[in-house]
């Protein structure tokens, strides 16, 4: 039966409670945290509480906030006795909405008494993209990640052919792993690729099946509580999962201002902090679920955390397992918790916000860590140790191409070019000229010199 997104979230919450050992644990939930999705629903946590018949404060985290920050808030509130048990739940029902919209139940409304209950809406301190990028129209993730991807290829001296082969091989491996997971959204993903190919171009070099999949019907829920409450409502401590470390970098450095587009300083500072706190490398964990919105995001995480040939996912990632917008980290966390619990080992999951702008890491263990939980933020280190380049919106004359991509996301193709002159000034250029697009389809021209007219036109 097709469900609306609130019904999906309630079903996931019920299953999380049953998985904990006793669905009566929902009666202890006094706080519900929901990551904002593609939907526009006021107070989704309040609607979940109403459906489940519980009294709980409702908190919604808007886009632009690390997914790990929701987990951090829940842990801190439980530790400080502000909450006995917090439910974190999110979901998407876009596939139902697209295909069976007429048979979907309408999103419920809050009762008069529920409207009086406490609710909170958390906004990011600042947007992950700059006002300049917004004004220029560089607001979609595919174009920004493609600029990072192509800068990486240039820095590693990859040809167009070898670069495309690298991306395809990486995502074929993701499909292979997704095929081993019953909960994956795309069934038989490898054969799906062989039969349908990589799909239409989104932003060179990315095609449809290289990017996150939003059109899914999926939800996930996590319960965070004290050991006392868990022991009261569970069948034994064998089912408990303990957070060992939660490290974030919330420094906001817009992509166009980063000295090296293909280098993510925050990831390296998180890795170093993890080693400092735990005495171990993230690669030493048994399982890993790296945030997988685009291939370059996974590749840079793999390199920063020194995974080598170890798998970077247990789900198959956001393309094949299903990437329900801001909810995917909960999808991955629920799967990782099961793996860690069944194998009685350890796991690491990461989160990303913006264009690899903010980064987070959570490590889990089936055993209670003797040193307790490490909470750390390396934002100041990332901010102070990342070189920035000045944006000059009116820059003209000769400049070298830093990166480029041809985008088809908005319908008619456009080329996005980030250029830098000898004075270390940058300008973002956008062109819908067929001649210019044809040239940038032949080569990304990174390192080549272009001439920028006073009107902002690209002359090759």
| Coil, strand or helix at 445 | coil
Is pLDDT above 80 for 413?
yes
d(CA 358, CA 362): 14
pLDDT for the residue 102 = 83
Cβ contact 54:31 at 8 Å: no
Which tokens sit at 405?
A: 């991509």
Query: To which H or E segment does residue 451 belong?
Result: strand 449-452
CA dihedral 156, 289, 366, 266 (to 10 degrees): 50
Pick from 78, 28, 338: which is nearest to 224 by CA?
78
8-state DSSP, 388:
B
Q: Which residues contact 434 (CB under 8 A, 6 or more apart)?
A: none
pLDDT band with cut points at 50, 70 and 90 for residue 111: confident
Residue pLDDT, tens place only, 364-394 = 999 999 888 999 999 999 999 999 999 999 9
Is pLDDT above 90 for 416?
yes
Residue pLDDT, tens place only, 226-263 = 999 999 988 666 778 999 999 999 999 999 999 999 99
pLDDT for the residue 237 = 64
d(CA 128, CA 355): 7
Q: Could you give all domains of the chain from N- to C-terminal order, each with its CATH number?
A: 5-122 (no CATH), 131-214+236-384 (3.40.47.10), 390-459 (2.40.50.840)
Is pLDDT above 90 for 1?
no
CA dihedral 228, 229, 233, 237 (to 10 degrees): -40
Interval 408-437 mean pLDDT: 94
- Which residue is listed with tokens 């990011």? 124
Whole-model pTM?
Answer: 0.96
pLDDT for the residue 161 = 97
Q: Residue 375 CB: number of other CB atoms within 10 A? A: 15
Q: Residue 324 CB: number of other CB atoms within 10 A? A: 31
Taking phi over 0 as left and psi of -120 to 50 as alpha, with beta for the rest, 42 belongs to beta
Is pLDDT above 70 for 216?
yes
Cβ contact 212:85 at 8 Å: no
| Coil, strand or helix at 6 | helix
Is pLDDT above 80 for 72?
yes
pLDDT for the residue 339 = 95
8-state DSSP, 178:
H
- Which residue is listed with tokens 């393309």? 319
Is pLDDT above 90 for 323?
no
Percent of the chain with pLDDT over 70: 99
| Coil, strand or helix at 98 | helix
Percent of the chain with pLDDT over 90: 88
Which tokens sit at 383?
A: 């901010």
pLDDT for the residue 11 = 97
Pick from 37, 140, 42: which is nearest to 94 by CA?
37
Q: Which of 85-89, 97-101, 336-340, 441-445 has the lowest mean pLDDT?
A: 97-101
Is pLDDT above 70 for 302?
yes
Distance of CA 177 to the CA centre of its chain: 19
Cβ contact 417:457 at 8 Å: no
Q: Residue 2 CB: number of other CB atoms within 10 A? A: 17
pLDDT for the residue 325 = 86
Residue pLDDT, tens place only, 283-297 = 999 999 999 999 999
Residue pLDDT, tens place only, 147-177 = 999 999 999 999 999 999 999 999 999 999 9
Q: Over the chain, what is the mean pLDDT?
A: 95
């Amino acid at each position: 039966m097709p469900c609306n997104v609130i019904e999906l979230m309630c079903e996931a919450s019920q299953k999380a409670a049953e998985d904990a050992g006793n669905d009566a644990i929902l009666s202890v939930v006094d706080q519900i945290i929901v990551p904002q999705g593609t939907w526009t629903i006021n107070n989704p946590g309040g609607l979940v509480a109403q459906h489940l018949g519980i009294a709980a404060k409702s908190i919604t985290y808007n886009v632009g906030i690390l997914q790990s920050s929701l987990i951090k808030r829940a842990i801190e509130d439980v530790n400080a006795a502000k909450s006995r048990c917090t439910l974190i739940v999110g979901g998407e029902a876009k596939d139902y909405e697209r295909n069976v919209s007429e048979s979907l139940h309408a999103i419920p409304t809050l009762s008069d008494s529920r409207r009086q209950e406490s609710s909170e809406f958390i906004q990011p301190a600042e947007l992950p993209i700059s006002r300049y990028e917004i004004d220029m129209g560089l607001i979609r993730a595919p174009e920004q990640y493609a600029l990072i991807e192509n800068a990486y290829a240039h820095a590693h001296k990859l040809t167009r052919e070898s670069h495309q082969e690298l991306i395809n091989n990486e995502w074929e491996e993701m499909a292979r792993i997704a095929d081993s997971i019953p909960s994956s959204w795309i069934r038989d993903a490898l054969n799906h690729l062989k039969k349908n190919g990589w799909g239409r171009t989104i932003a060179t070099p990315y095609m449809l099946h290289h990017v996150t999949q939003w059109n899914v019907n999926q939800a996930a829920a996590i319960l965070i509580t004290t050991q006392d409450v868990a022991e009261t409502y569970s069948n034994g401590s064998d089912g408990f999962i303990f957070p060992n470390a939660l490290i974030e970098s919330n420094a906001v450095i817009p992509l166009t201002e980063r000295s090296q587009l293909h280098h993510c300083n925050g990831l390296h500072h998180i890795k170093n902090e993890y080693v400092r706190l735990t005495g171990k490398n993230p690669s030493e964990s048994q399982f890993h679920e790296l945030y997988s919105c685009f291939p370059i995001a996974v590749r840079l995480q793999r390199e920063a955390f020194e995974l080598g040939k170890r798998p970077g996912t247990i789900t198959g990632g956001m393309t094949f397992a299903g990437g329900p917008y801001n909810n995917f980290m909960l999808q991955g966390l629920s799967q990782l918790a099961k793996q860690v619990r069944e194998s009685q080992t350890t796991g690491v999951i990461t989160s990303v916000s913006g264009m690899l702008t903010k980064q987070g890491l959570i490590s889990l263990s089936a055993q209670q860590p003797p040193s307790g939980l490490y909470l750390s933020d390396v934002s100041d280190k990332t901010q102070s140790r990342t070189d920035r380049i000045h944006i000059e919106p009116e820059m003209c004359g000769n400049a070298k191409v830093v990166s480029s991509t041809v985008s088809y996301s908005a319908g008619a193709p456009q080329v996005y070019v980030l250029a830098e002159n000898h004075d270390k000034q940058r300008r973002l250029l956008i062109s819908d000229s067929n001649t210019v697009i044809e040239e940038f389809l032949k080569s990304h021209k990174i390192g080549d010199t272009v001439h920028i007219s006073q009107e902002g036109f690209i002359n090759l």
